[in-house]
Structure 1
Amino acid sequence: MSNHHSQNLENLKNSEPTKSEPTQLDPIQPEPTKSEPTQLDPIQPEPTKSLRIATFTDVFLGIPGGIPSSIRAQKASLEALGHQVTIFCPGTRQDFENPLSKFGANHDPNIVLVPTAKFLINGAPFSKWTKEVVRFIEKKYPNLTESFDLFHIHYEATTSMAGLILAKKYHIKTIQTMHGREDMAIAINVPHPFKTLAATGINLIHRTTLKSILKKSPRPDYQNPALKNLAPTIARRQMWQMMTRQANLADQVITPSAHFAKKLQLFGVTRPISVISNGIADQEMTNFTPKIRTYQNHEPLRVLWFSRLSKEKRILPFLESLRIAQELEPNFRFIFTIIGDGNQMSKVRKFCKKHFDEASIKILGTIPHQKILQKYTKNQHLSIINSYQFDTQGLTILEAAACNLPVIYADPDMTEIVPNHGGLCAKSPAPRAMAELLLKIHHQPELIQKLSQNLAASEKTYLQSHQIEKLLKLYRQLS
């Protein structure tokens, strides 16, 4: 067993419930020094002036995932405090009327559907060219400066670029949340011969679209070993250039984790960065008392996956880990429940049919998000997040933590996110390493209870009611 893995387990054994340390990054703004206890009572409106916030995103709000979940949660929390939030996003009324989305645009006049292409990208609606989005918004809101106090942008594509252009034109302050590693999205999902072409094309469109408002910024030194490691190919460099450009055009940048903030600074982001978690909506935890998990190794180890089924999330490598674990330890039994959908669903079904019996696998597909935490986490022992160098936070980790459900994960960057030693990291992203971690838990079943107790004792700073205070502080500084 590697030193990394041994230390991981040693930390767990010696850990006592402690208060989470504030994030300190320079010039990234520090987290507050103390978190308040969890409060699930209705949020009371503040006596101060209410804000009018325009949110721009290219992500369809009806799909599962960290970005749409965080936008929905922020909207609900801000409105509960008396603020107005108008969201500009792609989609059609038919998309939003899908009962699985539970986020109907017909019923919320503050969700404004921008001009949307007829085709889908990765199964989700995508807005038309930025110029069309700009014209549409200016026609609908001829006096933008009188309609909104500030803009909050949640992506880097056409609608998000429209937000930046409108902000500069009308002198409206802008916050940009940088959610994800777009360099890895290209590296993982685009076939090899086309990676460089796709990334160069995306970066060129981004630069050309924003040409009228661009600022000069220093070129990164790609001979720097840290930069070389993060951007070893032309394709990944192109995507980092796009992300850096987007961030530097905002007045303030938000990232969900300190490790991602440091990477952005390394590539030349000069705007102030604050680390604010995406957060979980408090309503999801109302009237829900999660239990402490226990496991006996004579029973199947119940593992839950609730994320999309895609290459970057690495569900097939995790299935391979389960296969290896059974091969190494014939007495190891498990029940793996899969919630989610995606472009790897057919490969997942094929792999499971070939290698596992029906009792070991439950593929449930897409389930309304609000049901997952309170119903489908109930009898589980572990949650798995198997992405590597892709997720900047991993909302799945926070959702599992809120349920006292221990987490196993492949990316050591995620250790920052797991509260109070409530999870274990595999010693490498290789399937065999995760298999060895599963067997370690099988042979030391008491680990499940210890991890779960640690999560129960952690401060619930991931709840939206805590994160919204930090967000509002930034809003007020800019507005």
Structure 2
Amino acid sequence: MRIAFFIDDYLPSVHGVATSTAAFRRALEDLGHEVFIVAPKAEGHIEHDDHIIRLSSSKYYVFDSREMANIYPGLAKRFDAYDFDVVHSQTQFSLGVLAHSVAKRQGIPHVTTIHTLYTELIDDYPVAIVAGLLAVSFAFPVALKSTPVLPRVHRDSIKHLRRSTIKAALSRHGWRLTAAFANKCDACLAPSQHLAQILIHDGGLSIPCTVLPNGIDTAFYRHARAEDSLIPKEPGQRFIICVARLSPEKRQIALVESLAHLPDPVRLILVGGGPSEAELRRRAEELGVAHRVVFAGMLPPEQVATLLKQADVFALASYHFDNQPMVFLEASAAGLPIVYCDERMTECLTERNAVLASGITGEDLARAFNEVLGDEARLESLRSGALEVSQDFDVATAAGRLIDLYTGLIEARR
């Protein structure tokens, strides 16, 4: 089978969707299938893989100075020669629209995975998110030949335009736009049950939606060695690690603030880069914990795996933004207990391997950290549970389910 993944931002960029796509590619190839990746050109990156198709791109500034593929009439025709059996979009933006056009031209199934909803970032990027919603609202009816999706705002809400009211209306509109895209596909995937329910009930998703959690190569993290870490760890120290983009929606500020309520041997390791780094450094200085925060920066997967093995607890403070973070899977595969604060997230999070904080503040998180780090027997039990839970998310199993889906869709078309 010849499979094409369309993704708006691929390796060498390090984030959950790119990591998941790369893992699925390897697993599908191990099963004997041919996989292509269609992605924008990455600045400064020279591509040597003939199965990664790079498209010309331009800068955009929604979250960072990233590259976005240039989409133009006639571009879909370029892919006729590849004779794909199925296309799978990991995005509902420009390359998702291109995937739709390619599938329609070649008469093949189009599967899309909904990873997250960007309107949840309205507080942090108001201008960019509103502009994006407007652009998509006009572009989808033209590109997808579909009925326009117009905002639904009750007149009583207009009389009392509160920030919360506007945000809720934009969020609902975002879900409806996302579902409108998915409804033009042959199948929709959601990495978590709660996201699938929102798509159906709030967005109006009408096509079949399969819950397929992201998968990883669990052996890669299980076999990593803590002694290969680049960060020294003194006897008696405890490491709390967070691997995520340093940005407002990830709320690392709460992790920094938690240190003020934790004993001195506890260190916070922040892996990743982003616009919040300067603010996080300032807050750490204000609290007098700057010497206990390590900014590791962007690291390749091999070094991330060794840091996960070296750490004592994995933490993520994002709230009502993430869907099924890949980092939870990676942490569990490395045998790390997880502390989190978003009650909506459930995949890979059980009482065997994770602790849900009682709230979202630094003090709330600190109580959860103390609960885990202050009880060696509990810590060891959570480590064992993490390794067990991670086996349910091995990418080889998920890839097999993906092939079953593709095969059914192809046979249905025939």
**What is the TM-score of this pair, normalised by structure 1?**
0.75
Match of 1:75 among 17, 25, 41: 25
Alignment-derived partner of residue 6 in structure 1: none
* One-letter identity of the residue aligned with 1:334: V
1:117 equivalent in alignment to 2:58? yes
Q: Secondary structure at the match of 2:396?
A: helix
- Structure 2: distance between partners of 1:407 and 1:233: 30
Q: In 2 relative to 1, CA 136–232 (structure 1 residues): closer, same or farther, beyond 3 Å? A: closer
RMSD: 2.9
Larger relative contact order (CA 8 Å, sep ≥ 6): 1
Confirm whether residue 346 of structure 1 aligns to residue 285 of structure 2.
no
> What does residue range 96-107 of structure 1 map to in structure 2 within 5 Å?
96-97=45-46, 105=47, 107=48
**CA spacing shift, 1:221–1:348, aligned 2, 3 Å:** closer
Matched-pair contact (CA < 8 Å) for 1:280–1:464: yes
Q: CA deviation at 1:432?
A: 2.6
For the structure 1 residues 231 and 381, does the alpha-carbon distance in structure 2 shift closer, same or farther, using more than 3 Å as the test? farther
SS of residue paired to 1:392: coil
Kept in 1: contact 2:79–2:102 (CA 8 A): no
The residue correspondences of 1:165-314 to structure 2 (distance < 5 A) are 165-185=101-121, 187-191=122-126, 194=127, 197-212=130-145, 214=146, 233-267=168-202, 268-282=204-218, 284-285=220-221, 287-288=223-224, 299-314=236-251
Contact 1:64 1:307 in 2 (8 A): no
- Taking the aligned partners of 1:197 and 1:220, their CA distance within structure 2 comes to 15
Using the TM superposition, give the Cα deviation of residue 70 of structure 1 relative to its aligned residue in structure 2, in angstroms: 0.7
When residues 222 and 168 of structure 1 are mapped into structure 2, their CA distance, relative to the original with a 3 A threshold, is farther
Distance 1:392 1:231 in 2: 22
1:160-182 deviation line (CA, Å, top 9, x unaligned): 11111232233221111111122
The answer to whether the aligner puts 1:439 opposite 2:370 as a matched pair is: yes
| Percent identical residues | 22
Structure 2, gaps ≥5 residues long: 156-163, 228-234
Amino acid at match of 2:67: P
Question: Which residues in structure 2 correspond to 1:352-363 (within 5 Å)?
Answer: 352-363=284-295
Look up the match of 1:20. Answer: none
| Aligned counterpart in structure 2 of residue 460 of structure 1, from 381, 391, 397 | 391
Distance 1:57 1:195, change over 3 A: closer
1:450 aligns with 2:400: no
CA shift, 1:221, in A, is 10
| Kept in 1: contact 2:319–2:341 (CA 8 A) | yes
The CA distance in 1 between the partners of 2:166 and 2:402, in whole Å, is 31
Structure-2 residue corresponding to 1:389: 320
- Identify the residue that residue 6 of structure 2 maps to in structure 1: 56
Does structure 2 retain, via aligned residues, the 8 Å contact 1:282–1:465? no
What's 1:315 paired with? 252
User: In the alignment, which residue of structure 2 is the partner of 1:405?
Assistant: 336
- What stretches of structure 1 of length at least 5 have no aligned partner? 1-50, 98-104, 224-228, 292-297
Name the counterpart of 2:159: none
Greater mean alpha carbon deviation, residues 171-180 or residues 445-454:
445-454
Deviation per residue, 1:325-378 (Å, 9 max, x gap): 14xxxx4541111111011111122222332345412111011013211x2123
State yes or no: 1:141 paired with 2:79: yes
Contact 1:60 1:124 in 2 (8 A): no
Question: Which residue does 2:161 correspond to in 1?
Answer: none
Of residues 28, 39, 44, the one that matches 1:95 is: 44
How far did 1:379 drift? 2.5
The aligned counterpart of 1:15 is none
Tell me the equivalent position of 2:98: 162
Q: What whole-Å deviation, never above 9, does each CA across 1:249-275 have from its counterpart, x for those lacking one?
A: 111111111111111111210111111
CA distance in 1, matches of 2:346, 2:376: 21
SS at match of 1:96: coil
Give how far 1:217 is off.
8.8
**Residues 356 and 449 from structure 1, CA distance in 2 versus in 1: closer, same or farther, beyond 3 angstroms?**
farther
1:126 aligns with 2:57: no
Flag the 1:163–1:458 CA change in 2: closer, same or farther, 3 A. Answer: closer
